[in-house]
């Protein structure tokens, strides 16, 4: 299945991350639609399986960014909603994702 199979018919994609981020030790692409934050991953070498996590944007209460590490800095985005979602990746990439996410959350 492709990402479009998980979107509602009238849902519009507003943002897609260029690279993947880590969540729970797995790689995901960050996608923001007009309604939801979606973490989308494809797993498997021969047989591909989808791994999808979603959170409604109106449930997001707070987004935080911090950096960790001295030599190879890692950026960490924490999204507080119904559950806490932590995304980890290269600091420069994570800053871009953080700034993009801020545009979509009230």
Residue 106: is its pLDDT beyond 80?
no
> Spelled out in words, what is the top-level CATH class assigned to the domain 3-104?
mainly beta
Average pLDDT, the chain: 92
Tell me the whole-structure pTM to 2 decimals: 0.90
For residue 35, what is the DSSP state? S
Q: Diameter of the chain by CA atoms?
A: 45
**All residues at 6 or more sequence positions from 41 whose CB lies less than 8 Å from its CB, including other chains:** 20, 26, 27, 28, 29, 50, 51, 52
Residue 1: is its pLDDT beyond 80?
no
Is residue 51 classed exposed, middle or buried when 0-12, 13-18 and 19+ CB atoms within 10 A define those classes? middle
- Three-state DSSP class for 45? coil
């Amino acid at each position: 299945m492709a990402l479009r199979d998980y979107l509602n018919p009238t849902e519009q994609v507003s943002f897609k991350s260029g690279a993947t981020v880590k969540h729970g030790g797995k790689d995901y692409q960050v996608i923001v639609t007009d309604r939801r934050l979606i973490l989308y991953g494809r797993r498997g070498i021969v047989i591909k399986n989808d791994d999808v996590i979603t959170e409604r944007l109106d449930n997001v209460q707070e987004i935080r960014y911090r950096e960790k590490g001295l030599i190879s800095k890692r950026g960490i985005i924490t999204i507080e909603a119904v559950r806490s979602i932590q995304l980890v990746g290269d600091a420069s990439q994570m800053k871009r994702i953080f700034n993009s996410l801020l545009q979509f959350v009230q």
